[in-house]
C-alpha cells in the first residue's frame, strides 16, 4: 500500500469509528468519503498541488479497483490499458536513446524532488535504488522491483548502438518512460509520462542499464 493510500485508509477508518457504522459502507460510499477527506483536509503547499498529487486516470482507476477486489485484470482489460499507456511514450527527439551512465548512476541514487520543500526548478532524482539492485557495490537497495544488476549483459547487449540491440534499447527507454505500457498495473512510476524525469535523464538511466562500461554490466 502506498503512503497516500495508507493515510487515506487510516482517515477513513477513523471516520467510520466516529460515525459508529453498524455495517460496512459500500465501495461507492467509501469513494465519496475519500473524496470529502481529500477536499477538506489536504491543501496545496509549495510546489505540491493536491489536484496533481491525487490525480488519477483510467489506468489508476482500473488498477486500484483490481487491487481492492484482490483480483488481477483480465487479459483484455490489461492489454487495453497497456495500449493506452504505450501511446503516451515519447521517444527521444534527437534519436539518441543512451546518455551518460555516470549521470544515470547519480539519478538512480537520488530521491530528491517533488516535495513541498523543493523548488520548481529542483532536478528530480530517479530513486531507482529504492526498489532495485543496480550497481553491485551499492549494498543499500530495495527489493520491490527485480534486480537490474547485469541488466544489459543478461540480455545479450554488448553494443547498444548495434542494430541487434535496438529492440532492447527501445524497450528499456519505454519501460522507464511509462512502465504501465508493458505491465498495466506495474508499481513502477511512469517517470517520463508524469514529468518526473526529463528526456535527458531517461537517456542517462538507459545508459546506466545498457552501456557495457557501466558498473551495472561489469
DSSP assignment of 151-177: HHHHTT-S-TTSGGGHHHHHHHHHHHH
Instruction: Name residues whose C-beta falls within 8 Å of residue 216's C-beta, 6 or more positions apart in sequence.
Output: 101, 134, 135, 148, 149, 150, 151, 152, 208, 209
Q: For 171-218, how does the pLDDT look when each residue is reduced to its tens digit (9 = 90+)?
A: 999 999 999 999 999 999 999 999 999 999 999 999 999 999 999 999
Counting as low any pLDDT under 50, the low residues of the chain are 1-3, 21
DSSP label at 45?
B
The model's pLDDT over 108-124, given as tens digits with 9 standing for 90+, comes to: 999 888 888 888 888 89
Q: What is the DSSP letter of 202?
A: H
pLDDT for the residue 109: 95
Q: Which is nearest to 190 in space by CA: 53, 89, 66, 72?
A: 89
Domains and CATH numbers, the chain: 3-74 (no CATH), 101-217 (1.10.760.10)
Quote the pLDDT of residue 1: 47
Is the pTM higher than 0.85? The answer reads no
Amino acid at each position: 500500500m502506498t503512503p497516500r493510500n495508507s493515510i487515506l485508509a487510516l482517515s477513513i477508518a477513523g471516520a467510520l469509528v466516529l460515525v459508529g457504522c453498524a455495517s460496512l459502507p459500500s465501495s461507492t460510499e467509501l469513494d465519496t468519503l475519500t473524496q470529502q477527506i481529500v477536499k477538506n483536509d489536504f491543501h496545496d503547499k509549495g510546489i505540491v498541488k493536491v489536484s496533481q498529487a491525487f490525480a488519477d486516470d483510467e489506468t489508476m482507476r482500473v488498477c486500484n479497483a483490481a487491487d481492492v477486489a484482490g483480483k488481477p485484470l483480465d487479459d483484455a482489460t490489461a492489454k487495453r490499458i497497456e495500449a493506452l499507456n504505450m501511446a503516451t511514450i515519447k521517444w527521444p527527439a534527437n534519436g539518441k536513446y543512451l546518455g551518460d551512465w555516470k549521470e544515470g548512476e547519480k539519478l538512480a541514487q537520488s530521491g530528491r524532488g517533488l516535495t513541498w520543500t523543493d523548488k520548481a526548478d529542483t532536478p528530480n532524482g530517479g530513486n531507482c535504488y529504492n526498489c532495485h539492485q543496480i550497481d553491485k557495490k551499492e549494498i543499500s537497495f530495495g527489493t520491490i522491483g527485480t534486480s537490474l544488476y547485469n541488466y544489459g549483459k543478461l540480455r545479450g547487449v554488448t553494443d547498444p548502438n548495434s542494430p541487434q540491440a535496438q529492440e532492447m534499447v527501445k524497450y528499456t527507454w519505454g519501460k522507464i518512460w511509462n512502465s504501465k505500457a508493458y505491465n498495466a498495473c506495474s508499481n513502477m512510476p511512469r517517470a517520463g509520462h508524469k514529468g518526473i524525469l526529463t528526456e535527458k535523464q531517461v537517456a542517462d538511466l538507459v545508459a546506466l542499464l545498457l552501456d557495457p562500461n557501466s558498473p551495472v554490466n561489469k
